[in-house]
Amino acid sequence: MKAFAIQGYGKQVTLQAVEIAEPTLGEHEVMVRIQAAGVNPLDAKIRDGEFKLLLPYPMPLILGHDLAGVVTRVGAQARRFKVGDQVYGRADDGRIGTFAEFIAVKEDSLALKPATLGMPEAASIPLVGLTAWQALVEKAQLKKGQKVLIHAGAGGVGTFAIQLAKHLGATVATTTSAANIGLMKSLGADIVIDYQKDAFEKTLRDYDLVLNSLGGDTLKKSLAVLKPGGLLISISGPPDLEFAKRAKLSGFFQLVMRLLSLGIRRKAKPHGVNYSFLFMRASGDQLRQIAALIEAGVIRPVLDKVFPFQATPQALAYVETGRAKGKVVIEVQ
């Protein structure tokens, strides 16, 4: 099959077109002929080697986490899907590789594609949708009447999280550039802060939750907007001990993760707030709930660009510029 892979880690490494064997199919997996794949900053981070100690992939490594496509085969013990089903999902850690014509995925990591979406739109959802769901619903248990600040509202996670938070009944503030203010309001944001002009930490107060996807300086400033007992969730790090335990890392790595998050946890303590790192996991069950919201018109995907399969390296380079509004997708078929 055709795929795009890297031969080693590094910021200057480029995706290369390769011919590679179709993946083997496990008993509880389904084979999906990929028709569209989402492109995420996480793909660049893995290429750079940021997770090589936690997720030691063999080379060559096919990148890509989001997929939408058609089931072509099912494993001997797989029961959820049949050949011909249109599905979407986030590939499993340890077996990523959606920048390809085929992928084998655990059936529990997939769901039927939202009926109202085409393949490119469906492929834009899994990683950002699951990230927002696990942050707002699962971890924060966001409730009606609470206040949440979602950083980088025009990004993939931001555009989805704003809509989900509004559906949950929260007051939503977000940060973005002036060019994106209209988009943010159309998605439901109540307060939109132009980060190039205004300091969010001087404007917002007594928030229940902050969802951070930016660098360390923004992370520290976010503590000031939270009320006592509030929660700061970061998807950009640093990792913490809770993450290490859930990932079943060794005692050594648990200690490392604890030390990595020590600085922000110490800064959070005087504010009376809590810090938590989120590394999203695949979940077909949550994708089914997300599909229901999409089909009901509660949440809509926001696509910036759709690239052809042969332009996959250019699609990843575009994501790395940080200028995308919403998601970038490649059409494989």
Q: Each residue's pLDDT tens digit in the chain (333 positions)? A: 999 999 999 999 999 999 999 999 999 999 999 999 999 999 999 999 988 877 789 999 999 999 999 999 999 999 999 999 999 999 998 899 999 999 999 999 999 999 999 999 999 999 999 999 999 999 999 999 999 999 999 999 999 999 999 999 999 999 999 999 999 999 999 999 999 899 999 999 999 999 999 877 999 999 999 999 999 999 987 777 777 777 777 787 778 777 877 788 888 888 899 999 999 999 999 999 999 999 999 999 999 999 999 999 999 999 999 889 999 999 997
Q: Give the pLDDT confidence of 229-260 residue by residue, as tens digits.
A: 999 999 987 777 777 777 777 787 778 777 87
Residue 326 lies in a domain: yes
Residue 292 lies in a domain: no
DSSP bridge pairs for 88: 68, 111
* In a shared domain, residues 133 and 271: yes
* In a shared domain, residues 27 and 157: no
Residue 294 lies in a domain: no
Hey, what are 323's tokens?
């200028």
Domain that holds residue 217: 128-277
Residue 290 lies in a domain: no
Q: How many domains does the chain have?
A: 2
* In a shared domain, residues 151 and 200: yes
pLDDT for the residue 285: 98
Contact by Cβ (8 Å): 64, 23: no
CA distances, 39 to each of 63, 86, 185, 320 (Å): 9, 20, 25, 10
pLDDT for the residue 269: 85
Whole-structure pTM value = 0.95
* In a shared domain, residues 103 and 237: no
* In a shared domain, residues 235 and 172: yes
Burial class (CB in 10 A: 0-12, 13-18, 19+), 188: middle
Tell me how far apart the 2 most distant CA atoms of the chain are, in Å: 58
* In a shared domain, residues 58 and 172: no
* In a shared domain, residues 75 and 134: no
CA count, 13 A, side-chain hemisphere, 18: 19
Count of helices and strands (H, E) across the chain: 12, 16
Residue 46 lies in a domain: yes
Residue 293 lies in a domain: no
* In a shared domain, residues 272 and 185: yes
Q: Give the pLDDT confidence of 65-122 residue by residue, as tens digits.
A: 999 999 999 999 999 999 999 999 999 988 999 999 999 999 999 999 999 999 999 9
When computed from its CA atoms, the radius of gyration of the chain, rounded to whole angstroms, is 19
- Domain of 199, CATH number, reads 3.40.50.720
* In a shared domain, residues 9 and 95: yes
